[in-house]
C-alpha cells in the first residue's frame, strides 16, 4: 500500500462536559502510545484539564503524538468549568454543552479542511456517541467514524435499539409519578442478550422529561452508521453484553476501558504522587486529613459534576452521615444544592462534627479513592465514578440521579455485588426520598457490617481483574492495538 509507512492521524471530538472529555483524552493518551497521531479538539474551558491529562503520558514520543487544538464553542454560549456548570438545575447543566458542541461543529469542519490543505489529513474521526451529527462530517470528507461510548456495554445495547424502542412505544418512558402508564407494564422482550424487562429499567435519559432525551435519540440514530465502536468497559466485566454487541453490530466493537488515569493501575495507593501543581490547597488539606484516619474507616460521598439535590434531601444526607458516627468526606459542590440556605446548615454541620468529617467544595477523587483510609464510596453511579470505585477496590452505596446511572446501579448491585442501593421503593418524586435514618443504617452496613466486609474483599478481586485487562496483553490492551492496526490500514 502506497501510504503504509505513514502514521495514522485521527481527530478526536468529545462531548464537552468533564466526564466525557477526560475519558476520551485518557483513551487518546493510550492510543498515542500505539504510534497514532491524534488531534484533539477541545473547547476553551477544558483546555487546561486536557493538557494535564496528556501530560500523564510518560513516553516523550507518545506525548508528542497528541496535539490539543482549541476550537470555538461560540462566545455567546461559552462553557464553564466543571465546578461552575450551573446554578443547581440539571437541565441547564446539560443543555449548555448541547448548544456548545453544535457550535463547535463549524470549527471542527474548518479544522479538518485545514489539516487536509496542510498535507496532514485525518484518516478517522473519533467522536462521542452524543455527537451523532458528526457522522455527517465524516461522510462529507469521506473518512470513517469511530463512535466513543463513555459508559458501559449494556447501555450500548439500549442505545443501539433505541430507534426500535421508540417505534414500539416504549420510549419515551413515562414516569409513574408524572404521567399515566404508557407501556410501563408491558415487558420488553426483543433486546438481544437481555432478559424481559419493564421500560422503567431503561436508562433515565430515555424518560420523557429528561433534558438530554433529544440528544440521546439523535446520537443513537447514527450509532449504527459508524465504522467502529469504542466502549469504556472491558470484556471480563461485561462478557455477555460485549458478545451480544459484536454479533448484532455491523461496526467493529472494541471494549477499550477503563479509560482512566494510569495511577489507578499503578498498584498501591502510595504510588500516587501529590503534586502541588495539580492539587489545590483544599485538595491537599483533604488528603492530609485522610492521613490521620484509620485504614478503611472513611466513607467518601460525591455526586459528580452535574447532579443536583434538594436542600431538604441534602440535609437528610448530612444528618445521616452525622448519625452514623463514621468518618466521612462529603463533597458539597456549589451547584449541587441551589437553595442558599444550605450554607447556614453547612456551618452548623461543621461545628457539630468537629474533626470526624470534612465537607469540601470539590475533591481530588483519584487520590481520595486510592487512599488507604477510604473504605466506602457513596456515589451517584456516573460511569466514570463507578469504574474508578471498581479500580480502587472500594465498595459502594449506589444512589443514581440521572442519565444511565440507574443502569450502572443495577449492574453494581445485582450482577457484580459491589454496592448496596440507597433508594428503596418510596415515592422518589418527593423532595426527600431517602431518610437520615436509612442513610445512617446503610453507612454502618457498608463500613462496619459483614456485608460490607464481603463487598470489600470482592472489590479487591475486581480491581485485580481490571488491572489485568488494561495491562500489556490484557483484553483491553489487545482491543486497543487491534483498533490501532485497523487505523493503519487506512493510510
Q: Which of 86, 126, 17 is CA-nearest to residue 384?
A: 17
Across-strand partners of 41? Answer: 69
CA distances from 138 to 11, 220, 325 (A): 10, 16, 56
Let me know how many helices (H) and strands (E) the chain has, helices first: 18, 15
Give the start-end residues of each E strand in 305-373. Answer: 328-331, 357-360
The answer to whether the bond into 172 is cis (omega within 30° of 0) is: yes
Q: Which of 297, 275, 300 is CA-nearest to residue 363?
A: 300
Q: For the chain, which domains are there?
A: 9-262+468-488 (3.40.50.2000), 267-467 (3.40.50.2000)
Instruction: Report the C-alpha gap between 162 and 479 in whole angstroms.
Output: 26
List per-residue pLDDT tens for the chain, 491 residues long.
344 458 999 999 999 888 898 899 999 999 999 999 999 998 887 787 788 778 777 778 888 999 999 988 764 443 333 333 333 444 455 667 777 788 888 889 999 999 999 999 999 999 999 999 999 999 999 999 999 999 999 999 999 999 999 999 999 998 654 554 456 678 999 999 999 999 999 999 999 888 888 889 999 999 999 999 999 999 999 999 999 999 999 899 999 999 998 878 875 554 456 655 567 788 888 999 999 999 999 999 999 888 888 888 988 999 999 999 999 999 988 778 878 778 778 778 878 888 899 988 888 899 999 999 999 999 999 999 999 999 999 999 999 998 899 999 999 999 999 999 998 754 454 455 899 999 999 999 999 999 999 999 999 999 999 999 999 999 999 999 999 999 999 88
Task: Write down the pLDDT at residue 344.
Answer: 78
Which grid coordinates belong to 434?
Answer: 431517602
Task: Write down the pLDDT at residue 212.
Answer: 83
Which grid coordinates belong to 9?
Answer: 492521524
> For residues 139 and 168, is the Cβ–Cβ distance under 8 A?
no
Q: Which of 228, 99, 220, 66 is CA-nearest to residue 158?
A: 220
CA distances from 360 to 23, 281, 296, 332, 336 (A): 24, 11, 20, 6, 12
- Alpha carbon 336 to chain centroid, angstroms: 17
Across-strand partners of 358? Answer: 329
Which grid coordinates belong to 167?
Answer: 417505534
Q: Which of 420, 368, 365 is CA-nearest to residue 398?
A: 420
Which grid coordinates belong to 65?
Answer: 503524538
Task: Write down the pLDDT at residue 88.
Answer: 43
Amino acid at each position: 500500500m502506497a501510504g503504509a509507512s505513514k502514521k495514522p492521524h485521527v481527530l478526536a471530538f468529545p462531548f464537552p462536559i468533564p466526564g466525557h472529555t477526560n475519558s476520551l483524552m485518557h483513551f487518546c493518551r493510550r492510543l498515542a502510545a500505539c504510534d497514532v497521531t491524534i488531534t484533539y479538539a477541545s473547547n476553551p474551558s477544558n483546555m487546561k484539564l486536557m493538557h494535564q491529562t496528556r501530560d500523564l503520558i510518560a513516553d516523550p514520543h507518545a506525548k508528542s503524538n497528541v496535539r490539543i487544538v482549541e476550537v470555538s464553542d461560540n462566545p455567546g454560549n461559552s462553557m464553564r468549568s466543571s465546578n461552575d456548570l450551573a446554578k443547581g438545575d440539571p437541565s441547564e447543566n446539560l443543555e449548555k454543552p448541547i448548544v456548545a458542541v453544535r457550535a463547535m461543529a463549524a470549527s471542527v469542519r474548518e479544522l479538518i479542511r485545514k489539516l487536509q490543505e496542510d498535507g496532514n489529513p485525518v484518516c478517522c474521526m473519533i467522536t462521542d456517541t452524543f455527537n451523532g451529527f458528526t457522522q455527517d462530517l465524516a461522510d462529507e470528507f469521506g473518512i470513517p467514524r469511530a463512535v466513543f461510548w463513555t459508559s458501559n456495554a449494556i447501555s450500548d445495547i439500549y442505545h443501539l435499539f433505541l430507534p426500535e424502542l421508540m417505534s414500539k412505544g416504549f420510549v419515551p418512558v413515562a414516569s409513574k409519578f408524572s404521567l399515566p402508564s404508557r407501556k410501563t407494564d408491558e415487558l420488553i422482550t426483543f433486546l438481544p442478550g437481555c432478559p424481559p424487562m419493564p421500560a422503567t429499567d431503561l436508562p433515565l435519559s430515555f424518560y420523557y422529561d429528561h433534558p438530554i432525551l433529544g440528544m440521546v435519540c439523535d446520537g443513537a440514530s447514527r450509532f449504527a452508521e459508524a465504522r467502529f465502536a469504542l466502549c469504556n468497559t472491558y470484556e471480563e466485566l461485561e462478557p455477555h453484553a460485549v458478545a451480544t454487541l459484536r454479533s448484532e453490530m455491523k461496526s467493529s466493537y472494541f471494549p477499550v476501558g477503563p479509560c482512566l488515569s494510569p495511577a489507578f493501575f499503578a498498584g498501591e495507593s502510595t504510588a500516587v504522587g501529590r503534586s502541588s501543581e495539580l492539587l489545590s490547597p483544599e485538595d491537599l488539606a483533604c488528603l492530609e486529613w485522610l492521613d490521620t484516619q484509620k485504614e478503611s474507616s472513611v466513607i467518601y460521598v460525591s455526586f459528580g459534576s452535574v447532579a443536583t439535590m434538594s436542600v431538604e434531601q441534602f440535609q437528610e444526607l448530612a444528618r445521616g452521615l452525622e448519625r452514623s458516627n463514621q468518618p466521612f468526606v462529603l463533597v458539597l459542590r456549589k451547584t449541587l444544592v441551589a437553595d442558599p440556605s444550605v450554607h447556614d446548615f453547612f456551618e452548623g454541620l461543621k461545628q457539630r462534627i468537629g474533626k470526624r468529617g470534612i465537607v469540601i467544595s470539590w475533591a481530588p477523587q483519584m487520590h481520595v479513592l486510592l487512599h488507604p483510609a477510604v473504605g466506602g464510596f457513596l456515589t451517584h453511579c456516573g460511569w466514570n465514578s463507578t469504574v474508578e470505585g471498581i479500580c480502587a477496590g472500594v465498595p459502594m452505596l449506589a444512589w443514581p440521579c440521572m442519565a444511565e446511572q440507574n443502569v450502572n446501579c443495577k449492574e453494581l448491585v445485582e450482577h457484580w455485588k459491589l454496592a448496596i442501593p440507597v433508594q428503596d421503593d418510596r415515592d422518589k418524586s418527593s423532595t426527600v426520598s431517602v431518610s437520615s435514618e436509612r442513610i445512617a443504617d446503610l453507612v454502618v452496613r457498608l463500613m462496619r457490617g459483614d456485608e460490607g466486609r464481603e463487598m470489600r474483599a470482592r472489590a479487591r478481586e475486581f480491581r485485580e481483574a481490571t488491572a489485568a485487562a488494561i495491562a500489556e496483553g490484557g483484553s483491553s490492551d489487545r482491543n486497543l492495538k487491534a483498533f490501532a492496526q485497523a487505523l493503519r490500514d487506512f493510510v
